[in-house]
Amino acid sequence: MMILRPKSSPRHYATLGGAPSTAPIATVPAWLRRALPDAQSLAGKEVEDIAITAGAAIGALDAVVRRQERWAGAWRQRLALAAAAATAKQAGRVEDESALRDAVLLARPGDFLSVGPAGLLLLGWRRLAARPTEELLTLKNLAAVLEEFGYAPDDEAVSDLADDLRQLAAGAGMVATLTGTFMAAERHGFARAVGTWLADALLAQRLGWPHAVPLLGAEAALGTSARPRRSAASSVATGIETDPERAKGLLAAQARAALRAIDLCTELERRADRLLAVAPKLRAKAADVVVEKLLSNDAFVASEQIAGMSDRGLRRLFDRLVELGAVRELSGRPTFRIYGL
């Protein structure tokens, strides 16, 4: 898949309370949505045809990523939340997005174990969205995310996995990288959720994105079983996929995920622009810090400590932002409220 990448633009990093976006996010072309095959039509298509569609979808997403919007942090974190909810469901857990958000945001400060197993899944996906791309596949980071996904790998297993990923990154094409990543995860006994995380990390690395965009984790249909299968070590290095139907399913899932991410980006752009438009009207101390946090995160708990702002002042600021239509209260509770774009 060849992807033409425009130069990134830092236009939204100029000022905190600056003007909202002047150029709208490009919507997904109608032809691209029509070209995306559904599950029923996959059998009648060739891998190469679906790879072209997936390449076009990733190319459209690449253009969005390179705009480096000020609210890209909130966008990636919202995608991470969706991926964590899907991962939790695949693991047989009952926590939805709201419960996962609560588990992390309402946990005791500094006590990551208090978030519980489902909350750790969200922290794993947030790790993908927040850490610089070049750090994602280091031995230290791989070990940490595997623990967050519920594994306790030894140093040798982590090192072997990292070696497989380096081989894929060094020589495989886009299709072989995608399929080979899942095969590498399976070879080491990890479920497909780990494969989705690794595939997103390798995609960001290949395209030179500063941060990865959580994509595949929220896809229910990936053309692969949720149960890990032991794959031959020799096939991982080349990324050769012996099951073309599975390869087509993975490519179609990646294309769907890219379009879904673009759609969410368009939605969040409208909300972020509203927040930026009202920001100059805010008179509360440290209001600029609150605005920045809202642009950088999925959500923000009203009880968070902000230097220079009292608890009462923060609550009043959020009430004002809700009144102005700039943020939403996400929990639906009268207490322990959570706000976000």
Q: What is the pLDDT of residue 234?
A: 44
Domain assignment of residue 275, yes or no = no
193: pLDDT strictly greater than 90: yes
Total number of domains constituting the chain:
2
- Give yes or no: residues 263 and 289 share one domain: no
Q: What are 292-338's pLDDT values in tens digits?
A: 999 999 998 888 888 778 888 888 899 999 999 999 999 988 888 99
11: pLDDT strictly greater than 90: no
Q: Tell me what the mean pLDDT of segment 52-69 comes to.
A: 94
Give residue for tokens 């039509």: 41
Torsion of CA 25, 261, 106, 110, to 10 degrees: -90
Torsion of CA 34, 37, 39, 45, to 10 degrees: 150
Record the pTM: 0.87
pLDDT bin (cut points 50, 70, 90) of residue 242 is low
- Give yes or no: residues 158 and 222 share one domain: yes
Q: What is the pLDDT of residue 24?
A: 52
Domain assignment of residue 133, yes or no = yes
Q: What are 24-43's pLDDT values in tens digits?
A: 555 788 888 888 877 677 87
Q: What is the pLDDT of residue 16?
A: 41
Q: Which of 268, 290, 319 is the last residue of a domain?
A: 268
- Give yes or no: residues 121 and 158 share one domain: yes
Q: State which of 45-59, 99-113, 238-252 shows the largest mean pLDDT.
A: 45-59
Q: What is the pLDDT of residue 37?
A: 78
Mean pLDDT across the chain: 85
Q: What is the pLDDT of residue 308?
A: 76
Domain range spanning residue 201?
44-268
Q: Which of 212, 240, 268 is the last residue of a domain?
A: 268
Q: Tell me what the mean pLDDT of segment 227-238 comes to.
A: 47
Of the listed ranges 16-20, 117-121, 199-203, 255-259, the least confidently predicted one is 16-20
- Give yes or no: residues 191 and 247 share one domain: yes
Q: What is the pLDDT of residue 8?
A: 42
pLDDT bin (cut points 50, 70, 90) of residue 140 is very high
Q: Tell me what the mean pLDDT of segment 181-206 comes to.
A: 95
- Give yes or no: residues 179 and 76 share one domain: yes
Domain assignment of residue 19, yes or no = no
**Nearest alpha carbon to residue 187 among 160, 220, 147, 221:** 160
Question: Residue type for 218, please?
Answer: A
Give residue for tokens 């968070």: 304
Domain assignment of residue 163, yes or no = yes
SS3 329: strand
Q: What is the pLDDT of residue 235?
A: 52
**Nearest alpha carbon to residue 177 among 156, 195, 158, 157:** 195
Q: Which of 268, 290, 321 is the last residue of a domain?
A: 268
219: pLDDT strictly greater than 50: yes
- Give yes or no: residues 182 and 64 share one domain: yes
- Give yes or no: residues 104 and 234 share one domain: yes
- Give yes or no: residues 196 and 307 share one domain: no
- Give yes or no: residues 238 and 297 share one domain: no
Domain assignment of residue 36, yes or no = no
- Give yes or no: residues 257 and 121 share one domain: yes
Paired with 329 in beta bridges are: 339
E strands, the chain, are 300-301, 328-329, 338-340
Rg (CA), the chain: 21
Q: Tell me what the mean pLDDT of segment 213-224 comes to.
A: 78
CA atoms of 18 and 12, how far apart (whole Å): 8
Percent of the chain with pLDDT over 90: 60
- Give yes or no: residues 191 and 298 share one domain: no
Q: What is the pLDDT of residue 108?
A: 76
22: pLDDT strictly greater than 70: no
Q: What is the pLDDT of residue 112?
A: 65
For position 304, which CATH number holds? 1.10.10
CA atoms of 85 and 24, how far apart (whole Å): 29
- Give yes or no: residues 116 and 231 share one domain: yes
